[in-house]
Chain A
Amino acid sequence: MISAHSEVDSKIMLEQAQGVKQFLTFFMADEEYGVDILTVQEIRSWEEITEIPNAPDYLKGVINLRGTIVPILDLRLRFGLSAIDYGPLTVVIVVKVYFEQNSKIMGVVVDAVSDVYSIAEHDAKTVPNFTDSENSEFVAGLVNVGEKMVALLDLKKTMDI
């Protein structure tokens, strides 16, 4: 038992030492984005939502998550992309975002979930700053996974509303 523990522990420690983190990735407008899997609370399907009056358009409203009121953002609208109709693949990823003083549970609507990757943090490249897209501020870094490029989200900035 102790050895089993220490085996797992040592694997985690090794990964931590190498700065390897697991990221949940999802699709949005054919691009793949990733968030630290430890921040993810759950993945839900899209459901009826209560609108908040006079809120920005990307704030779709609030849902009841087992007794807690949780705001839901549409990530497409947040990024200034065109809205699409929600389909069967549309999911809400509920994340816990840590701000300076507190942490909040919030949800983001994305086109579809993709995969979980182990990514070493030092592999992440900073976003080239010649893009004048305002969305670059929401991206903490870019990594290559095989042939694909994944943009790692800066949740704190994305969810700071």
Chain B
Amino acid sequence: MSIDLSQFFEVFFEESFEGLDAMEAELLNLVPGEEDLETINTIFRAAHSIKGGSGTFGFNSVSDFTHVLETLLDQIREGKRELTAEHVNLLLKAVDCLRALLSALQAEQDPNLEDAIALRIKFEEILGVNQSGATKVAAEKQPAQPEFNTYQIDFKPHHHLFKTGNEPLYMISELAELGDLETLAFHNELPDITDLSADDCFLSWRFFLNTVKDESAIREIFEWVEDDADISITLCGGLFAEQQQATIEEPAVENIESSPEVAEVAEVVAVNPSKKAATAKVTTPAAAESTSIRVGIDKVDSLINMVGELVITQAMLSQIGEQEITETTIASLQEGLAQLAHNTRDLQESVMRIRMLPISFVFSRFPRLVRDISQKLNKQVELKLLGEQTELDKTVMEKISDPMVHLVRNSLDHGLETVEQRIAAGKDPVGKVTLNAFHQGGNIVIEIMDDGQGLNTEKIKKKAIANGLVTEADELDADEINELIFMPGFSTADEVSDISGRGVGMDVVRRNIQSLNGSVEVSSAAGVGSTFTIRLPLTLAILDGQLVRVAKHTYIIPLISIVESLQIDISKVSRVGKDLDVLRLRDEYIPILRLYTIFNHQGAIETLDKTLLVVVESDNQKIGLLVDDLLSQQQVVIKSLEANYQKVDGVSGATILGDGRVSLIVDISGLIKLSGLRKPGSQELIIESKASLEAS
């Protein structure tokens, strides 16, 4: 008879989080004084369903809290109260608080109620609720000294109660959760068995509840049936509790025995705590939310279509297989195989598309972020989101979110000027931050643009010299200086604020993006603004690769890191030190790494003019890889070497080529490390080589 409600928890949480997101988005659209009724209604509905759901599932901390929120919204909705900026701020905080409460409940931890109580007091101040609310808060604040009260509750449902879909049993078990519950059931209205209609409720109850909670908590349980039952709640006081319990004990037992339905109630009440314990054990892991993915029905449909085609192709091929081999069957076999290749490729693309989500999942958190930070910094900011429907692999999406938050914070803090500065510079007092996402080739590009003051190259250079990253003598152009902000330990903020300035930022941002096989660049113009450009592969599972041959081995160089491939003009090569060759390419000096030496392979071509040089870039450093030959370019599926073996230096993974052979994917930054070339963080080697070249 009783349903295990815990099976619906996950759905409830998911819906509640969605509701909160909707509330947040709508709240950010609200402008006090010119609010749109429909917007307020949307917020109200979201709050209301969270309250209803949490009440049903017994998450009272959530439903109590949402209740005050809802009351305020209701008053605004009905025009009894003017919406103020303070209300919006408070409501936004309430959304945060609810999110924290729900996350704690989802992880089956006890939620931290402090914030909720503090916020609730604020709401109640606005609402001007009576003293009882305040005492209730006080009581909740000090659970160490609970005050027990005994309430007498008379609950007389109307006959049609069951038809409204309400079940007294649940209310009774909820009551039992509030404290010690004594139940008396009255069955004197029960008609003769012949007249009895099973759909009607003839029972009524009297409860004695000994609880620390106040009347409103009890009222809330009966909230949904207020119109379908006579309910009276009276306080009998704490002192009489024991006595009353003693007096009612006898009849209660008798009643319970005589009424099967109540017996069941008693059972439910008794069973409840143990059931709670059981649900606590069935722990959903905290990461549950990221393990499922919502897929549009169109994607699933297209997948089914492709599988259908695949089945047809398979049938065709097996039919050919049964025939005798003649010239014609071979021709149609080839045709069938081409068809199969086509199907497989389509299917692969479709399956990959399932993992793709629109980037709005990441973008959606920024309006709130920008609002909060701009308030804190006292700047006026307009956020523009473009290309929200651009799709991106889910894993990439999860990992790109933090670096993006960091970049946006930086733009707000360092990039945009204060209102006064902007007016003085003759700009629009409202600063603009634009997030733009779009596809370019096999990559997704995310741009974070601001129209602020741009990077201060002088300041950056001074700081870099102070930190010993470069020396006074280095002649760096503006772009090179701007690149310095991605160095470890670099921060120009004069004061460390809680928004930015700890100097652990940009290098981490770059590293995180590089770990996704992506890159980040900055371009800036003083007084006009700066743009950060993040480039990411669409997916982590597949990579565009250039196959190269070294001796008899085939390696794959990620296409994204290749700058160009060329034949070496031997006259432009100089030897630096003992064994480092450097190629002068236009106005750059490119160290040449011989892949066969680094990988220790025999039998490769060693003369420079008979080989090819693949110029690659990593960590902002260009190097040339010496290879015997360039083979084809193709998409490769990345396989882990570590699953059955271990990390190999200079290799980021493996893949399986069309002929079934394994080929290794070159890890450029690992190669640089392996070759002994120093990282750009200490550019000595490169600079040294430049100096010696110029001297010669």
Contacts and interface: CB of A to CB of B under 8 A. Distances in A.
Interface of A: 48, 50-55, 61-64, 67-71, 104-106, 161
B644 A104 contact: yes
B660 interface: yes
Nearest to B663: A50
Given A53-B664, A64-B662, A71-B644, 13 more contacts: A51-B601, A52-B645, A52-B648, A52-B664, A53-B598, A54-B648, A62-B641, A62-B645, A64-B660, A69-B640, A69-B641, A70-B644, A104-B645
Given A67-B656, A69-B641, A104-B644, A53 B651 contact: yes
Interface string B634-672: 000001110111101111001010001111100000000
Given A53-B650, A67-B656, A104-B645, A48 B600 contact: no
B545 to A, nearest CB: 15
Nearest to A54: B600
Contact of A64 (B553, B640, B656): B656
Contacts of A61: 662
17 contacts: A50-B654, A50-B663, A51-B601, A52-B651, A53-B600, A54-B649, A61-B662, A62-B641, A62-B654, A67-B639, A67-B656, A69-B640, A69-B645, A69-B656, A71-B645, A104-B643, A106-B645
Contacts of B644: 68-71, 104-106
A36 B641 CA distance: 26
B633 to A, nearest CB: 20
Contacts of B650: 53-54
Contacts of B656: 64, 67, 69
A161 B644 CA distance: 11
By Cβ-Cβ distance, the 8 closest A-B pairs, closest first, are A53-B599, A50-B662, A71-B645, A104-B644, A64-B656, A69-B654, A64-B662, A105-B644
A16 B649 CA distance: 44
Contact of A68 (B643, B646, B648, B649): B643
A48 B639 contact: no
Contacts of A69: 639-641, 643-645, 654, 656, 662
A53 B601 contact: yes
Contacts of A161: 645-646
A70 B641 CA distance: 8
A51 B648 CA distance: 12
A50 B641 contact: no
A68 B656 CA distance: 9
Contacts of B664: 50, 52-53
A105 B601 CA distance: 26
B646 A62 contact: no
A109 to B, nearest CB: 15
Contacts of A71: 644-645
Contacts of A64: 656, 660-662
A105 B661 CA distance: 18
Contact of B648 (A55, A67, A106): A55
A93 B553 CA distance: 25
B674 to A, nearest CB: 8
Interface string B609-647: 000000000000000000000000000000111011110
A68 B655 CA distance: 9
Contacts of B645: 52, 62, 69, 71, 104, 106, 161
A105 to B, nearest CB: 5
